Structure 1
Amino acid sequence: AREEQEYRRLLYVALTRAEDALLVCGAETRAAAADKPHARDEGCWYDLVADALTPEGVEVPVSYCDRPVLRWRRPDAFPSSDVVTMAPAVADHAPVPLAEMHVPARPARVRPSRGAPASGGNAAGPAAAPSGTGAFDAAPRAAETLPPTVRGDLIHRLIAGLSDLPPPERTAGALRLLRQAAPGLPVDAETELVAEALGVVDHPELADLFAPGSVAEVPVVGRWTLASGRDIEVSGRIDRLARHGTRLLVADFKTDRVLPDGALDVGAPYVTQLALYAEALRRAIPGVSVEAMIVYTRAPAVLRIAGQRIAEAIARIEGA
């Protein structure tokens, strides 16, 4: 039973890596069995996904396959809106609907990324890593035995789940969450992950970010026309969003091992990601100001990105 639970947990981790679309394709290297038209093991990932999609999926022909594929689309969760009242949306933990404009041609797509893998800022390529020499967390950690994407996902899930708990209950709550999400971790790995998440949630500089009514993992979609006349579409997810009157706080959590020396040394891809979120929110909610920050969870370090740098990032997109 535990092996099956772990098998399904790994499927969940794989499925949650997709940003916009997910293709699930089985592979068989044996001849079909006598009692079925295929050779794959019963209950494999392919079967689990196919069984889940079948009730609402639709078979559609595609150019990359010689037979129809089963397609499931998420129902429209982001209604068009020119003016959005954020306070109830945040309080109800609802997605933030962003203004959408009709565009006759397919727009250029900008997909902000969660960033570099947790155990090495350069592993995903130089474009995703913060610039500057920065601090390097070279100390061996038990949690480093986890794949970087799994480790990062667990930290994000812990941070999202802990903020709603009273401070005295957070350590015990974190362990419960962690053991549900990743049963069987060594005790020292659990201790490190919980301490890292608590270091963020309990950070005094982030009290406003985790204030009551703030929201974790907020989907963001937006489409608009740039001053240059080029259409742009943004799709992403804000790690933490809080509203205080007309002031919006937007935070992106990074689990990188390499930390920049300061906010000015944060790499351009990370700044562009936050700039797109900020621009989308400003277009959706007139009259608000957006304060963007990156939180490196390992220190933890809170790096606030200046409004001028956000504006410069948008200007570069305009001129691209």
Structure 2
Amino acid sequence: MRRWGLPACGLVLAAPFALLAARLTGLDAGTPLAVPMVLFPYSAVLSLLVLGALLGPVRPGSTGQTLTVPVLRSWWAVAVVAAVVVTQAALLIPRFVPEGRNVPAGSAELRVATLNADVGQADPRALVRLVRSERIDVLAVEQLPSGGVAALEKAGLGALLPYHELHPEYDSSIYSRTPLTHGGPLAAGTAWPQVTAEVTVGGRTVRLVAVHTYYPLGDPKRWTRDMTALTTVARSSGPDTVFLGDFNASLDHAPMRDLLAAGLTDTHAELGHGWARTWPAGNALVPPLVQLDHVLHGSGLAAVSVGERTVPGTDHRAVVAVLALLPS
């Protein structure tokens, strides 16, 4: 068994090893490794299963104590796999631990949502119902063509969110319950312009950026340039900032970690929801597997709640978050 067992384990663990190496070194930035990197949490589960298989069952020892003997009688293999599992856990566990930031009672709140409308295929009436039931203040919609804009207006979105920065020619749009200022395309070197605007909350101005980056499968270098451009913007955006949308990136991508290091916090990770899944949606055979859609915010805000909602017609789930403004 050992003759073939160890090579078989090595073959099974080849992908987790490669993803871990890329995760530790950032080799996914600008390379095809960006595509499988979204599966890093699954690779950690696979490594843990292999470790369990290597250890085998607990057996009674000769003196009555219990012993765990490697199935393949190879402690070095167990040690290597255990080291991989521990490293993967160290990278993943923090996003499952809520930060527990103290939000003072009575703090002004901003209720936001983001949805990739899949080129206008999202059910407009369902999206309007979501806005109404969640009492959304700001909605960012990606992949929303002019026909989708018209469909949302017909469904009654304008009555709930009468202020907007509509740019179907740029791919993204922002809707708001209260007036928007300084709106327009973001001055950044992205594949297509991102849409930005400002909204007043509790007497403070919050900058909004509706994000939809290029996708790694199409061109990982182009995607990395988009993320780098957003990182540059984030560094100069101040603490009262919200980036929300389809980043085509997970928390395990190096460009996403660089963006967060520029002064932003991922709402899901902040609240301990470390394995949210927003894509692909709407497929009866394949459930959502990875998180590509995020709400990120600056240090002037804190997350109160976050969750995902299904909107028929699109292959992305919506992300809904409540953000509180912290005392300045």
The alignment's TM-score, normalised by the length of structure 2, stands at 0.24
TM-score by length of 1: 0.25
Q: Which has the higher strand share?
A: 2
